[in-house]
């Protein structure tokens, strides 16, 4: 069994998806073209440490941050983790709210209305920029990683209270309902890490929440779980193609943060990094994979499996079973990955690739990015997802699934 690792907090990675390229021997292949924002900067750091209370987009009061009372903390077990997590298991590289969560987001059709910083001669939000995409009640929104790298938490309202989170260390995006005990509240960044992953707090109770466990790990709400919502890690161009009327999150100062609109960053001028800080490469490791290998994880009936991008891309599509669940794992046109349950009704399908286009199974062609059949006897059918979170780094998946195996090994 693999023990969860605890790596040092690094500078945020600002990266773009790249198109798939043919396999060439043992040459290192870039999964994501990465640029670090500087070795001397901590992820999400945005200046001063004093909080500036504001009102969140739903109108809920955010004037004070609740603190845990003397009420005994509940105990619980979530995904084989005994809660509450002891304080000794948490690290605090940064003060609370130093990473300024967004509490009053603003959206537009694109970033064309933003002022181009001096010296920047490329699109502020290029088509290959990675975004977290969410669709609810017929409205689509994109949350660029260019912003999430620095702010990590967005408190939004879309078909109800919405929480969009991203951990630069784990490459993990988690979207959930923004409620505690059934009531909307504001989430912020605690500055703590558990298993090298983002730890949030809620302003209603002061409880601490693990992003990847999607549960409260300390405080009055210990053991409560977030209600996860579907989301997609893809490129801005691909998301626009799929959702022509989409909105996109604007960076501060257009969007307000927990510390006020002055908590901004230079979102458009990432500096080059050393080779050791690049993400998305599959380096050799003593055990398992390099920590920032891009994987998609599937867990079912006590069995966990990670699928590395390289292996999935080389195969075109992987037909597999995880804990008895028939799954199909593939890459997407945007350079991300998708995992589907390859079952329609009572029939289990076997998928094949059609050149570099859609997948084929059961006499129909299926879109890689959506799992929807576009013709044939299954036209209009959409496969269920086999994963509950978008692709992420091996670092994040393995730390929260220490019993995982790796496809192909």
Instruction: List, for residues 245-279, the tens digit of each pLDDT value.
Output: 999 999 999 999 999 987 667 777 554 333 333 33
Q: pLDDT digits over 346-385, tens only?
A: 999 999 998 879 999 999 999 999 999 999 999 999 999 9
Beta-ladder partners of 99: 45
**Taking the model in full, what pTM does it have?**
0.84
Q: Is 281 within 8 Å of 26 (Cβ atoms)?
A: no
42 pLDDT more than 80: no
pLDDT tens-digit readout, 135-164: 999 999 999 999 999 999 999 999 999 999
Q: What is the CATH number of domain 293-406?
A: 2.102.10
Query: By three-state DSSP, how is residue 385 classified?
Result: strand
* In the chain, % of residues over pLDDT 70: 77
Q: Where are the domains of the chain?
A: 76-257, 293-406
Give the span between the Cα atoms of 157 and 178, in whole angstroms.
8
Q: Is the pLDDT of residue 81 over 90?
A: yes
CA distance 22 to 81: 41
Residue 37 CA to residue 34 CA, distance in Å, equals 10
Give the CA angle between residues 223, 229, 232 to the nearest 5°: 130
């Amino acid at each position: 069994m693999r023990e969860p690792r605890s790596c040092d907090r690094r500078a945020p990675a600002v990266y773009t998806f790249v198109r798939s390229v043919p396999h060439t021997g043992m040459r290192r292949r870039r999964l994501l073209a990465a640029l670090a924002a500087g070795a001397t900067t901590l992820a999400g750091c945005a200046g001063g440490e004093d909080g500036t209370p504001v009102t969140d987009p739903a109108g809920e009061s955010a004037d004070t941050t609740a603190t845990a009372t003397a009420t005994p903390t509940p105990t619980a077990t979530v995904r084989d983790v005994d809660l509450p997590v002891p304080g000794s298991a948490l690290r605090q590289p940064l003060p609370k709210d130093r990473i300024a969560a967004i509490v009053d987001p603003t959206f537009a059709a694109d970033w064309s209305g933003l002022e181009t910083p001096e010296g920047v001669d490329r699109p502020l939000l290029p088509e290959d920029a990675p975004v977290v995409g969410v669709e609810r009640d017929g409205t689509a929104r994109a949350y660029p990683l260019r912003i999430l790298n620095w702010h990590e938490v967005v408190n939004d309202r879309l078909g109800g209270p919405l929480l969009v989170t991203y951990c630069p260390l784990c490459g993990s995006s988690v979207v959930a309902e923004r409620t505690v005990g059934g009531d909307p509240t504001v989430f912020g960044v605690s500055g703590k890490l558990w298993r090298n992953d983002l730890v949030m707090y809620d302003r209603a109770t002061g409880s601490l929440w693990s992003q990847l466990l999607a549960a409260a790990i300390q405080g009055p709400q210990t053991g409560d779980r977030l209600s996860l919502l579907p989301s997609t890690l893809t490129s801005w161009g691909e998301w626009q193609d799929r959702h022509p009327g989409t909105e996109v999150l604007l960076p501060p100062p257009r969007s307000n943060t927990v510390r006020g609109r002055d908590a901004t960053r230079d979102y458009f001028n990432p500096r080059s990094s050393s080779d050791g800080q690049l993400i998305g490469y599959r380096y050799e490791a003593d055990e398992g994979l390099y920590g920032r290998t891009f994987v998609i994880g599937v867990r079912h009936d006590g069995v966990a499996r990670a699928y590395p991008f390289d292996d999935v891309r080389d195969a075109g599509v992987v037909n597999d079973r995880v804990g008895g669940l028939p799954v199909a794992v593939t890459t997407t046109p945007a350079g991300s990955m998708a995992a589907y349950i390859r079952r329609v009704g009572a029939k289990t399908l076997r998928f094949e690739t059609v050149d570099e286009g859609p997948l084929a199974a059961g006499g129909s062609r299926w879109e890689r990015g959506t799992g929807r059949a576009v013709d044939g006897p299954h036209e209009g059918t959409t496969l269920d997802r086999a994963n509950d979170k978008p692709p992420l780094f091996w670092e994040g998946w393995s730390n929260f699934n220490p019993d995982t195996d790796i496809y192909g090994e």
